[in-house]
Amino acid sequence: MEKMDTNDYLIDFPLSPAFIAEQVSAQNMQDAGGQSFFIGKIRADAVENSSVVGIEYSTYSSMVQKAMDAIKDKIYKKYDDVKSVIIFHSIGLVRAGESSMLVSVSAGHRKAAFHALEDTVDMIKHEAPIWKKELLKNGNHRWL
Amino acid sequence: MKILYFGITSEITQQNSEELNNIKNLYELKKNLFERYPKLENINFQISVNQQLIRGDQNLSTTDEIALLPPFAGG
């Protein structure tokens, strides 16, 4: 079972399938006709004659809290039809094949659910102070 | 004032944070950091003061929390 950080959005280490299922099923809105979700995973990319074995995530936790709150506010303002948005992101080591991010949007109708989901994921990538240290099989690393 | 280092800036400075005194503004802070950690000059980063991104110069006080933020890479 993952340990919750003091941050509402950050989870230590990978998001387990059980955790993801629990969060998605808990988003049980009676007025939502559609629920979209995105699970970010670690790719075992070929890099520098080696391959990615994992990513170590680090964050500015208090600023992540503010950034994620602001992202959700923007989504609710842009999409009247969105009923709820949930966001979880890993901190620490997540190995190739494991999951590092969950975003789920419940909306009255499917178009808002799809579009708001994509907007939320894009905003997280650009606005949340989160950093990736990519760990390679040959022992090297690189910052992304 | 407290300086926080994130991402590659923590690797260059070999620490997650440090306390600095007698720094009046961001211009002086950058000068101080570039003298002690020359590799920072080659890195693209933003600066936040008390969790607000700052563009340009700004006066600093002893209680400020300043962070060096390389490009974000969540997901």
Q: Model confidence over B13-23: pLDDT tens digits?
A: 999 999 999 99
Residue B10's CATH number? 3.10.20.30
Residue B57: inside a domain: yes
Mean pLDDT of B2-17: 97
DSSP string, B56-67: S--B--TT-EEE
Pick from B68, B44, B14, B2: nearest CA to A129: B68
How high is the pLDDT of residue A29?
A: 85
* Shortest CA distance from B67: residue in chain A: A60
Whether B74 maps to a domain, the answer reads: no
pTM for the model: 0.92
Residue B75 lies in a domain: no
> What's residue A6's pLDDT?
59
Query: What pLDDT, in 10s, does the model give residues B18-43?
Result: 999 999 999 999 999 999 999 999 99
In-domain check, residue B41: yes
Whether B8 has its CB under 8 Å from any CB of chain A: the answer is: yes
Beta strands in chain B (DSSP E): 2-5, 17-19, 46-49, 52-54, 65-69
Question: Which of A41, A63, A119 to mutate to test binding with chain B, by most B CBs within 10 Å of its CB?
Answer: A63
**Site of tokens 């070929």:** A46
Is the confidence at residue A2, as pLDDT, over 70?
no
Query: How many domains does one find in chain B?
Result: 1
- Mean pLDDT (chain A) is 93
Structure tokens at B52: 């607000």
CA A141/CA B8 separation, integer angstroms: 11
**Assigned domain for B7 exists:** yes
Range of the domain at B42: 2-69
> pLDDT tens, A91-134?
999 999 999 999 999 999 999 999 999 999 999 999 999 999 99
